[in-house]
């Protein structure tokens, strides 16, 4: 029989079903997340109808609500396991819908959308592996939130440029070429932040899996 002691370092991560997180479904943050998902439809409709101003209003409202739901969950102790699923789901669906719509008017947005989809798919794979081990997916980190905010700011700017082109006498004028250059710079910075966030999340998931595997191996050694 081996005398190795189990590695308990994995206890820094929350075990599903053994935390004090609320399992309530109808919390204010969860309702906000559902509203954000529902806002995707009017955004796409406004965008396809070239009602860019209303599309911008919808996406700004969605972005602001994204900032508040996490704060409300923490401030009023309304965090839930369902919320940990709904929040990133609302983010990913919204970002994907916005990215695809923008590709219709600005093809140069396509590389960022590809990076976004690849990042989310790989993170989904990592999250599913963690969940299968019975561990709750870690909360969103600052770099993930910063990447999301940068995406929304870039989208808002690009849509704003489109809105200016539809106004007969705009309050001020931005040359379309200048606007495209600024948009490209913002897109590059956003893509870089997304790649950085993906790398950091990958390290986090790898750390979790390594510690879980080490714990399982130590437990197996004790029972031999």
Q: In three state form, how does the secondary structure of the chain look?
A: CCCCCCCCHHHHCCECCCCCCECCCCCHHHHHHHHHHHCHHHHHHHHHCCCHHHHHHHHHHHHHHHHHHHHHHHHCCCCEHHHHHHHHHHHHHHHHHHHHHHHHHCHHHHHHHHHHHHHHHHHHHHHHHHHHCCECCCCCCHHHHHHHHHHHHHHHHHHHHHHHHHCCCCCCCCCHHHHHHHHHHHHHHHHHHHHHHHHHHHHHHHHHHHHHHHHHHHHHHHHC
pLDDT the model gives residue 42: 95
Residue 223: predicted pLDDT: 52
Band of pLDDT at residue 15, cut at 50, 70 and 90? low
Q: Residue 123 — very low, low, confident or very high, per pLDDT cuts 50/70/90?
A: confident
- Under the banding of pLDDT at 50, 70 and 90, the label for residue 11 is very low
Residue 63 is predicted with a pLDDT of 79
pLDDT band at 8 (very low <50, low <70, confident <90, very high): very low
What is the per-residue pLDDT across 69-105, written as a single tens digit (0 to 9) for each? 777 777 777 777 677 778 878 888 888 898 888 888 7
Tens-digit pLDDT profile for residues 132-145 = 777 766 666 788 77
**Average pLDDT taken over every residue of the chain:** 77
pLDDT recorded at residue 139: 66
Whether residue 202 is predicted with pLDDT greater than 70 in this model: the reply is yes
CATH of domain 9-223: 1.20.120.1760
Q: How confident is the model at residue 20 (pLDDT cuts 50, 70, 90)?
A: very low
Mean pLDDT across 20-48: 82
Q: What is the mean pLDDT of residues 185-204?
A: 87
Across the range 55-60, mean pLDDT stands at 86
pTM over 0.75: no
């Amino acid at each position: 029989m081996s005398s190795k002691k189990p590695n308990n370092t994995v206890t820094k991560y929350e075990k599903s079903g053994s935390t004090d997180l609320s399992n309530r479904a109808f919390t204010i943050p969860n309702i906000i997340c559902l509203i954000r998902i529902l806002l995707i439809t009017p955004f796409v409709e406004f965008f396809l109808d070239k009602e860019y101003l209303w599309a911008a209003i919808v996406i700004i409202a969605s972005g602001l609500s994204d900032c508040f739901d996490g704060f409300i969950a923490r401030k009023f102790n309304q965090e839930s396991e369902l919320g940990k699923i709904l929040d990133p789901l609302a983010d990913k669906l919204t970002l994907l819908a916005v990215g695809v719509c923008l590709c219709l008017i600005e093809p140069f947005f396509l590389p960022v959308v590809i990076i976004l989809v690849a990042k989310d798919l790989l993170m989904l794979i990592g999250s599913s592996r963690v969940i299968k081990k019975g561990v709750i997916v870690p909360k969103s980190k600052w770099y993930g939130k910063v990447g999301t905010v940068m995406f929304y700011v870039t989208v808002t700017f690009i849509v704003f440029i489109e809105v200016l082109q539809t106004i007969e006498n705009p309050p001020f004028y931005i040359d379309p070429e200048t606007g495209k250059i600024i948009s490209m710079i913002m897109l590059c910075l956003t893509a870089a932040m997304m790649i950085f966030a993906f790398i950091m999340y990958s390290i986090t998931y790898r750390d979790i899996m390594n510690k879980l595997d080490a714990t399982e191996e130590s437990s197996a050694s004790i029972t031999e």
